[in-house]
Structure formats: C-alpha cells, structure tokens
Amino acid sequence: MPAVNAWLFDLYPSPHGLTIWLIDGNSCRYRCTTAYAPSFYMRIAEHLQPRVAALTARFPFRISFEWESQRDIYENRECTVLRVFVHDTLRFREVVWLLERHFPHFVFFNSDIPVQQLFLYSTGLFPLARGEYEIDENGQLSGWKLDDLSDAVEYALPPLNTLRLANKPDFVSPKHRKNYQLEVEYDGRTYGLEGEETGDILHSLNRHLREADPDILLTAYGDAILLPMLTRMAEEAGIPLLLNRDRGSGYFTSNETSYFSYGKIVHKDGAFELAGRWHLDTENSFMFGEASLDGVVEIARMTQLPVQRQSRTSIGTALSSMQLSWAVKNRYLIPAKKREPEDFKSAATLLLADRGGLIYQPKIGYHEQVAELDFVSMYPTIMVEHNVSPETVNCRCCSNDAVPELGYTICENRIGIVPSTLRPVVAKRAFYKKEKKRLKKLGDPRWHLFDHRQNSLKWMLVTCFGYLGYKNARFGRIEAHESVNAYSRDAILRAKEIAEDRGYEFIHAIVDCLWLKKPGATEAEYEALAMAISDETGIDLSLEGIYRWILFPASKMDPHIPTANRYVGYYGNGEIKIRGIEVRRRDTPLFIKRMQGEMLKVFEHARGVADVRTLFPAALEKAKEFLSLLRSGRADPLELVIRRHISKEADEYTNRSTNAEAVKALDEAGIRLQPGEMVEYVIVDATGKKKPQKAVPLALYSFDDGYDIDKYTEMAMKAAETLLGPVPWEERKTARRIRRARNNSASSQTVLPLYPDEA
C-alpha cells in the first residue's frame, strides 16, 4: 500500500500493541496497528533482577528486561536501571501493580504513564500530526515521515464530521431529571429520537450514526448521563450500538471523582471515550468551554495527550504531560511518586518565603482616566527568564543568591525542565495574540481561531505557577514556587518606584497588573512608562487601556474595606471590563444580573466621574423598575434560579441551609448529587418559618411555589449598592427620595434600605 498523506486521528491499546486511526484530506479513514511493548524502569541492585523475573513469570505473555543508563533529574547524573518491557499493552498496569506490592515505591520510574502517552513520547508523534504514514499489506503501521511540528503556529487540520447528541432543550439540567427526550443534529438538521419502545430509539440512533458516520460525537452530559444510559438500554435490549467506529473494541470509561482544590470541593464526571471516533462532552470539558474545539486541538498537539483524554483532563495534567515528554526525550527518569521533600527552613526564612504575590489595596470609589498596565504572562516569563525549576532551585552544583529576598540558588549549568517546556508555550501565545489583533483589525473572521488558541494556552500559563507548588506534582517543589513569588514581588516594587518617580499615582496593583493615574498623561506616555518598566524588570508590560471611569467597590462585609479582585469600568474605546461583581458571578440569579447590567448601561457613555454622578438618579430608576417587578411577585421564577456547588452528600448535611434543603429534596426524589456538583433551586422562604422548605430544586419547582420576595429584594439591593455604594452624600438625598417613592408603591412587606447607614 502506498504511503498515506494523513493526520494521526486516534490511538488506543490492543492486546499486541496499539490500534491507530488516520484520516486524510478527503475524509477517508484508515485503521492500522503497530506492535509496541510499553516499558518502565526499576532502580534496583543487579542481583534483584531474578526476583523481578520470577514475579512476572506467571503472566501468559512475554515480559523482557534490559539494563540501561538513564539520568536522575535532581542528582543530574547517570545511573543504571532495569527496564521492564510488557508485551501486552492491555496488561501494563497489572504488571506494575504486581511489582509495587513487593518493592518500595521509590524504585519505580515511568510506571504510571498511560500506554498511549508512552508511545507518543517515545516516537515523537502527537495527535493530529500530519505526515506520510506507511501501512503494509497486513495493516501494520510500518513507518512515517512527519511534515508537522507539535509547536507549529500555522498548521492545517483534516475535515471532521460532527454529530451532536443531546437532550431536548430544557431549563432543568439533565443531571436532575429522570426522563429524557434525545435528539441528534448533523448536516444542519435536527432529528428527534422518539419511539414508544427502547428498540425504536436505539435503531433510530444507529441509523443516524451510519448515515452521518461522524468523526466527533458531541454531547452535553454524555459522560455522566447520556452514553451510560444508552449503552445500558442497548445491553438490556440486546441491540448493539454503533457508537464506536472500531466495532471490535469496547468503550474506555473511568469513574467520577470529587476532590478539594484551592479550598473548595470539585466534582469531575467519569469519562466515556470511544474507539475510532472522538466523544467530546461539552459539560465535562473545561477547555472546550473556554476555547472550543480549536483550543482542545491546540493543547492536545502540544501535550501529546490523545484528544478525548485532553478534553477531559485538568490543565495541570496537560502541563505535566509536556514535562514527561521532555524527560523521556532527554533520558531523565520520571519518578512514579514525588520524591523531593521541602528543604529545612528557619523561622525567619519561612516568614519571608511563605508569601504570595504582592497586592496594593485599591482606593474605594470611582476614578477617571486610570490606565491599566498588565505584565504579559508574568509568572511563566519569570520561570523561563530566571530558569526557575524544581531541579534548578537550590541545586547541588552552584552557589549564588539569585532569588530576591530569599537568597535561594538558581543553577547556572543547565536549563530546567519547567523553563524548557514553557518557552514554546509563551512564544506561541504571544504570536497568537498578535495575529488575533491583526486579523480583527482587518475584519478577517479567522481572528476567532487565533483567539481560541491563545485562550487555551493562557490557561496553561495561568496554571503552571500553581502546579509548581502542588504537593503531588511530579516535578513540583515548594522552593521553586516561593522563588517565582519573590521575583514577582520584586518586579511590582520596582515598577512602583519607576512609576512614582515619573509622577504617577498608584491606584491599585494585584500580582501582575497595575492601575495608575497621572493628570493629563497621554497614551504615548503610558506606553513609554510600560517600556521603561519592561526594560528594568525583564518582563513585558503592556498597556491594556485607559479607563474613562473605573469603580473599585467596597467589601460586602465592611463598607470601609476595599476588595482586590472586584472592579468594573469602561475603557476609552467603549469596551467594558468586569471582574468579581454580581453581573459576572455564576451564582447570581439572572434577574439580578439583568438589573445590574441595565444599571451599567446607564453609565456607558459617561466620560468621567462627574458624568457618572449625574447619571446616578437614572441608574436608581432602573433599579426601581426591577425592584417593583420583583416585589409585585410577577418576576419570572426561572430568572431567580440560584446555582451553587454542594460540598456534601444529602445525608451529611446537619443544617437547614438552602443548599442542604435543595439537595435533600432531590435525594428524596431519587436524584443523588455528589460533592462538587451543581444544585439549582429557587428560594421560597429563606427564614424557614412560613413554608416547610426554604428552597425548592428547579427540577421539582412549580410556579405555584412562588419565591421569597424579601430575600431576592435583599440580593437586588446589594447588587445595586455595589454600583451606588460609593455615592457622595448629596447624591444619597436623591436615593432616599426614590426609596421613599418605591416604598409607597410597593407591597406592605419590609423594604430594605439602599445604603447600610440608612438602616
């Protein structure tokens, strides 16, 4: 068979190697196999090899061994290790588990990496790699020649057919329902999967799968609900489903999990992956939600993670995959467990080291003509430019005081694994951002493609810093994490000194972003300041824009205390930027978001603080319209739905919070939620004194249940106060007049004051 000019589409383990799918420019698909024996390393004495051989002799397939020289990443020297080859890719983990019961964990290296990734790392292939692939008469992949690079910025992709499978649109999440009406969409048309019998639905789905023959099966809640339900129905009815393109392979599934991350519990649905086509669940893929398919493909190519796995994995796992690939390529051993303990520190060093990025609290209230300057990829740039990596910080070969404040050593003899893997990511994102801006100015719709790609890389760069200090990171070390923080604090302090020396007032700063003001300063002057700071710190500083006005609201707990990460303002070009306030928050009811959004539109054309002040009465009138509707009882309850993550299972709650009541009600209805999942409900009586339930889950809600007028009024008032809280006393007189007028027209229920000091 002549060489096929195609893209590497999919791969998965089979008994004697790997099954690989290729797709060419004419949408022709090729299934082939390749003989592959995955391997791992054991750092043991030579006389222990017979023991390893005896333990693995019970397997009905071949296990082979050879001694090799590999490098220890922390000691940076060669060492002799036993390489164990497993000649059945499906039994790789089983062999490792057997040996782990008889040897300590620290002797194992490269042993917990999925087989597909080991193959890609060792061959240099990657998902959607384009090239010439040679397939012999037995269907074996015998060779290839790539004309593509994993870090390429300009690359072509094959034509991919998509079939969307979903529950019919409904305001209730499929996770909170028992009955489903499925539909499929492809070639611009939508078809319902309806029938009185299970067999009718399954036969209808198979017919559409045959007709569309999709490369991508796109679902919403396919991992958690739809595909497990359909396969269960198919098994009970004895009707084979055509979900897999490879009829001889099964499905690749994993269990759901709940875990703690940054102080909150997170739920992750299990995976349901297919063979020969991709199944992408939009509700179980962070990257798909942030950057669409373009972003998923971009990250998969760089990380060498198969696309289905990449779409579901965390950003930390993706980053780790790049590091693992680099280690394999450079013959470094990859420990199965994290091995480097934290260095001993004195109390004085701990006080200096155990700090995060530097934050200057903002000045509460409205400001005008404030410039926002942003360090471009600050933390990744620090890692790359200063060679910060777990094995380079406090290395055993150098002696210097490279890290500010802390005096840690940075290796001068080698480039670390973290800078080596981050450098192409930083460079690619910079290119994509420039290309996006260029194409957007030209009106070229391709700017969306580059925006998706740069956004996917943004999340990798955001995560790389936290992963550096993550306790379970394979190549993580707390001293490296502390070093990056020290460099960032030093950069902000130097930026502050330069700005203030030039007469700029510091309004706010948060880790890698500055808000500055100087009366009469032009855009060119801010650009010049950014250039001067960039030259001094070695980190690019860009002018994001100059605000006509910007608001830093007070804390909800204390009106005299500012908050660092909540602000809203309009740039000079008319674009709005919002962070942290109600209209941006996911747990804010849509009704409250709409109210605050309408209030912000009132300020859209304000040229400065004086204009904003003159528009306060108009904004208050907008708030009054929403409050009047809310208090009349005629607000749409579907716009009052609250969505929050739960932290416990139903039987673990001991209080009567709204979250607890909603979760318990769902549990009694046979719908069991796991910690970290989202619960949706409407508050009907926050006090719990008038009705038996404080909140009713959306799945069980009836319009007759109504809603708690006082509670939602309180929430609306707080949202209005975010924008109108920093109001001078003369404007508050107008606010009081409007409040009195509202009280006169409202129901007899208590109306909360607009400002805390009016209570």
pLDDT in tens, 499-512: 999 999 999 999 88
pLDDT in tens, 4-62: 999 999 999 988 899 999 999 999 999 999 999 999 999 999 999 999 999 999 899 99
DSSP 492: H
Asked whether residue 740 carries a pLDDT value surpassing 70, the answer given is no
Q: Which element (helix H / strand E) includes 744? A: helix 729-745
* Architecture, CATH, for domain 359-580: Alpha-Beta Complex (3.90)
DSSP 140: B
List, in order, residues 6 or more apart from 168 with CB less than 8 Å away.
181, 182, 183, 192
List, in order, residues 6 or more apart from 449 with CB less than 8 Å away.
294
Asked if 453 and 301 count as a contact pair (C-beta separation under 8 A), the reply is no
pLDDT mean over 116-138 = 96
Predicted pLDDT of residue 468: 78
Band of pLDDT at residue 651, cut at 50, 70 and 90: confident
Is pTM beyond 0.75? Reply is yes
Predicted pLDDT of residue 750: 36
The label of the residue with tokens 């620090």 reads: 382
Q: Three-state SS for 394?
A: coil
DSSP 335: B
Select the more confidently predicted residue: 636 or 656. Answer: 636
Band of pLDDT at residue 741, cut at 50, 70 and 90: very low
Locate CATH 3.30.342.10 in the chain: 4-146
Locate CATH 3.30.420 in the chain: 162-329
Amino acid letter, residue 734: T
Mean pLDDT of the chain: 89
Backbone angles phi, psi at 34, to 5 degrees: -145, 135
The secondary structure of the chain in percent helix, strand, coil, rounded to multiples of 5, reads 40, 20, 35
Asked if 382 and 388 count as a contact pair (C-beta separation under 8 A), the reply is yes
Predicted pLDDT of residue 103: 95
* Spatial separation of the C-alpha atoms in residues 510 and 253, rounded to whole Å: 42
Please say whether the structural domain 4-146 has been given the CATH code 3.30.342.10.
Answer: yes
Question: For the chain, how big is the Rg over CA atoms in Å?
Answer: 29
> b/e for 608-626, b at 16 or more Cβ within 10 A?
ebeebeebbeebbebbbeb
pLDDT in tens, 137-175: 999 999 999 999 999 999 999 999 999 998 876 666 666
Q: Residue 483 is encoded by which pair of tokens? A: 């070093």
* Spatial separation of the C-alpha atoms in residues 304 and 310, rounded to whole Å: 9
pLDDT in tens, 205-239: 999 999 999 999 999 999 999 999 999 999 999 99
Locate CATH 3.40.1820.20 in the chain: 638-758
* Spatial separation of the C-alpha atoms in residues 247 and 226, rounded to whole Å: 20
List, in order, residues 6 or more apart from 118 with CB less than 8 Å away.
38, 39, 110, 328
Match domain 162-329 to its CATH number in 3.30.420, 3.40.50, 2.60.40, 3.30.200: 3.30.420
Q: Three-state SS for 560?
A: coil
Alpha-carbon separation of residue 274 from 216, 241, 534, 712, 748 (angstroms)? 10, 12, 48, 45, 60
Q: Residue 70 is encoded by which pair of tokens? A: 């590999």
pLDDT in tens, 401-429: 899 989 899 999 999 999 999 999 999 99
DSSP string, 517-566: E-TT--HHHHHHHHHHHHHHHSS-EEEEEEEEEEEEPBPSS-TTSB-TT-
Asked if 650 and 667 count as a contact pair (C-beta separation under 8 A), the reply is yes
Q: Three-state SS for 76?
A: coil
Q: Which of 334-343, 377-386, 693-702 has the lowest mean pLDDT?
A: 334-343
Q: Residue 438 is encoded by which pair of tokens? A: 């260029």
The segment with the largest mean pLDDT, out of 522-536, 673-687, 733-747, is 522-536
* Spatial separation of the C-alpha atoms in residues 633 and 747, rounded to whole Å: 10
Long-range Cβ contacts of 330-333 (<8 Å, 24+ apart): 330/71, 331/70, 331/71, 332/70, 332/71, 332/72, 332/73, 332/417, 333/41, 333/43, 333/70, 333/71, 333/72, 333/73, 333/79, 333/81, 333/109, 333/110
Match domain 638-758 to its CATH number in 3.40.350.10, 3.20.20.80, 3.90.870.30, 3.40.1820.20: 3.40.1820.20
- Beta strand spans in 291-336 (E): none
